[in-house]
Each structure stands twice: as C-alpha cells, then as structure tokens.
Chains A and B, each alone.
Chain A
C-alpha cells in the first residue's frame, strides 16, 4: 500500500486551474522526484498535501487515512514534515530551540503538566534535547546551537530547516528545492543527507530543478506541466520522454 496517495486533486485560484486532477503516490521508504517547469503546480501540490491549502476536488490519503481538509498541524502530527522553497526558520529563537519546537507537539501536550514541569514533561524534554543534539551533530550545526537562527547564512538556514523536518521522526518528508541557491559543496552535502536518511527507511517527495540531483537521488520521477501529470517513471526514462522535453524546451 502506498504511504501517500493523492487522487485526482484539483486546485483553483480565481478561476485559474493550478492543479488539474493530479494523482500520484509515494511508497514507504521511496524517494520520489517532483519536477516540472515554473508554475506547473509543484509547490501548490505540496501545500495541498500538508493542509495549507484546501483542495477543490480529489483526495489526499496518508497511511490509509483520508487527510483531505486536515489542518497543517494535524497532517504533521501523522508523520509528514516539509521544507520550503523560501527557507523558513524561527529567526528570534536559538538554533537549538528551532529544533526543539519541531518535536515537542508530538510528545505530551497537557498545558498544565508543561507549566508545572511534571516528571513526564521533563523526560520528554530530555529526550527532545538528546535528539536535537544528535541532529546538530549530524548537520554540523553544533557550533551555532545557541545562536539565534536569524544570524545564520542562507545555507546554514537550509540545513537547520532540513534538520527540523527530521526532529519528529516523520515517515514522509517533503523537500521543496533542497539544492536551490546553494553552492556545489552544499548540494553534495544535501544529497548525502537525503541518501543517509533514506537508508534509515524514510520516504521523500522532492521538488527540484537541478536535474543531476534528481537523477542521482530519486528512484522515480513525476512530471507536472500546467497542473497536470504528463509523465512518470524512472529518471533515465523521464530524461528521454518527448512530452517532458516538449514541456521544458518547447518544440
């Protein structure tokens, strides 16, 4: 059974059909690429999956549960996290707190227990701090742990955002252009991170324009154009698909 499945998803903005019946699926532990020219609806589809947008028609199913119309925090609670094309962090919070926020709502949630700091909460916080320390290590952010995220460079923010998306041990991670606007060394590091985390059994759905990255890390690729799925297959096939070439380069 697919981990994530969208069925005939439609999204309309002011009379413009941005998504026109998109169906795709991601299997557990699979790395799927989502490509297409600018404005083809890739990020819109992410927003429909995570609940930021409500869909006009169609269904989104995660782990057999219909999550269409769920609010973002509920979708996240089920095990889907994401990064953003416009990298998002909490600028005024320390790097460590940025990570801690990303896990705490998946643990105990009683307000009174939290304010009174009962044993259960202290244990959860200790576990969260251990996990944050491990991720700081893994993403080479230890030195910056106590700095406010607002002082980080673009690349560092991107690493922090990626690490935050892993805090809650999600089963599916949506990456929106992980290799955009970063230097070649950083692109290699991003690829390594995806491979390593994939090896731990996590599934990815990745929007990316950098074709060498897509070819390197994706097992399967879905191509959108003008809100429609025009092709799907292993990277090597997609590269030769006449419809894809037409969408990207014209005739």
Chain B
C-alpha cells in the first residue's frame, strides 16, 4: 500500500473504533443509523450509480427485509441471524418481481414504474393486517445476538455492540460492492450505464445485468432492513416511505454516483451532520439545506470529486485514472 492509502486506512479504522471506546450512547445511536444508511446507499448505488437505472423502489426492498425478519422471529420464533438470509433472498425475489415489468420501460418511465411498484408494496404492508398487522406494526422483534468464542456477546440490545454489528455489515457490503464493481461484471454494468444500445450490440445482455444489479442491491437493502428490525424491535409500514428514496438519491448524488467511497462518506455525513448542527438549534435545518444546496452547486462531482482533488494534491499519487466514474 502507498503511504497515503495506509495513512487513510489507519485514520478510517480509528474513526470507526473511537465511538466503541467512548461508549457515548447518543453518539452510537446516531452512528448506527449512519451505518444503516451506508449499507442502503452502497446497495442503491449499485443500481443507480453503477448500472445506471434510476430505481425509486429501494425502501420497498428494505421494508421487505425488515418484515421478513420481524415476522419470522415474532411469529415463528426463529433466531434473527438466519432470517437475514431469508430476508436477502426475498429481497432479491421482490427485485425480480419489480424488475420484470419495470425494465420493459426506460429512463423516466422506468423510474415511475419502480415508484409504482414500491407504492403497491407499502399499501400491502399497510393493509394486509393478517400478515403485517398494518399500522399497528410488528412489535417485540427479538434482538440479534451472536456469541463469539471467549464469551464476547454481540447484540443489538446495547448500542456499543449494535454499532459493531452494523459496522461489520457495512464493511461486508463495501467489500462485496467493490468486488463486483472492479470485476468484469462491473465493467458490463458501466458499459450499460454509459451506452446501453452499444453494450447490447457488443453482446452485453443488458436486461440480465440490470436485473442482477437490482437483485443484489435489493438483497443487501433487505439485510439492512433485517438488522433494523432486530435493533429497533418494531417494524412499521412507514419504513418503506418514499421519503427515504429522496434521502438515498441525495446521498448517492452528493457522494458522486458510481463512486463507492464517495457514497459511503456522503451517507455518514448526511446522517451525522444534522445532529452536529443541533448546537445551533434554530438555524439547524436552514444551515443544513444551505450546505446541500452549496454542495450541489459547487461540487457537481460530489464527494468523489473532492477526494480526487485532495489526491491530486497528494505527492506519490498513482498516475492511472480510475475505470468508470
């Protein structure tokens, strides 16, 4: 590793580990939310940033995961951890169900199609009382508990270990996304994003790859939903709200669509910043909105562009440009 990369790796590790040492509950709860958004943003970026399909259905996949874990643990008494696998599988199946009709459409129509499908799923969550208890919510979801050798217990009951668990999930998500994006599968994704017609003409089965990106993204989002269910112990239809789509869109575009590290940083900043701004309670949302607007105007490439600028100023940078965006 280059010295710069090593230094930033150490820095990131220290920032991630510090809250555990500190043990401040409020801070940890904010960071757990940030972790969930990191997982959601990276998985959303697979669809929007890598393969370039503007899906608006992401919270629906998250909701499917949350309900899967919620229902399987409370009604069938399953241990939470294995339900995450079921959640991932059902998330992917939902993606196929959403994708088959929606991918017949293109661009804006595709976005509207996925929005409609997400809407339908939220209506199902609200009205299929027998399955989801509707607005009464599923309550009493047991916490995730993992016994490590040596008697160390990781559980979502305590913010400190709950934080460790979401960090593990976030790192796993990051690594999976990195492995995909930098592989030949990622190259096919990028080709479709850049010029779908040409990609088809060069033998790239664009429908297959778009479905793949949607499926993987949905499976990961569903795991985040499963984690949230065990962490909050409650699952409500509002988890699937459209509002979260807007939040994720802002994160992905402020991070730099298609940039893994940019999107990750943006997710953390987006969740933590409003909390930091509480020092100026009255002006909080005003300042926050102003910062978003400023970033949109002066940082069109998002966080990725900012990191690039810093890297260029750093001695010993590598000379080869990054593939993709």
Stretch in A28-36, A93-101, A132-140, A221-229 touching the partner: A93-101
Q: Contacts A105-B188, A111-B212 given: A146-B205 contact, CB under 8 Å?
A: no
Complex contact B201–A111 (CB within 8 A): no
Interface size on A, residues (CB 8 A): 37
Indicate whether B320 reaches chain A with its CB closer than 8 angstroms.
yes
Interface string of B196-211 (1 = CB under 8 A from A): 0111111111100000
| Other-chain residue from B184, B193, B204 in contact with A73 (beta carbon distance below 8 A) | B204
Complex contact A115–B197 (CB within 8 A): no
Cα A114 to Cα B212 with chains together (Å): 13
Cα A168 to Cα B203 with chains together (Å): 9
Interface string of A114-138 (1 = CB under 8 A from B): 1111000100010000000000000
Q: Give the number of residue pairs across the A-B interface with Cβ within 8 Å.
A: 94
Complex contact B201–A115 (CB within 8 A): no
Residue from A52, A91, A105 with most neighbouring chain B CB atoms (10 Å) = A105
Chain A residues 12 to 54 lying within 8 A of chain B, measured CB to CB, are 50, 52
Indicate whether A82 reaches chain B with its CB closer than 8 angstroms.
yes
- Give every chain A residue within 8 A of B197 (Cβ-Cβ): 52, 88
Please give the distance in Å from A109's CB to the nearest CB on chain B. 9
Cα A147 to Cα B205 with chains together (Å): 26
Q: Contacts A88-B195, A146-B320 given: A76-B202 contact, CB under 8 Å?
A: yes
Complex contact A77–B190 (CB within 8 A): no
Indicate whether B325 reaches chain A with its CB closer than 8 angstroms.
yes
Complex contact A71–B324 (CB within 8 A): no
Indicate whether B56 reaches chain A with its CB closer than 8 angstroms.
no
Complex contact B191–A90 (CB within 8 A): yes
Interface string of A68-93 (1 = CB under 8 A from B): 00011100110001101000111111
User: B-side interface residues toward A, CB under 8 Å?
Assistant: 179-180, 183-185, 187-188, 190-191, 193-195, 197-206, 212, 320-321, 323-325
User: A-side interface residues toward B, CB under 8 Å?
Assistant: 50, 52, 71-73, 76-77, 81-82, 84, 88-94, 97, 100-102, 104-106, 111, 114-117, 121, 125, 146-148, 164, 167-168
Q: 7 pairs across A/B with beta carbons < 8 Å? A: A76-B203, A88-B197, A92-B194, A104-B188, A106-B203, A115-B179, A115-B183
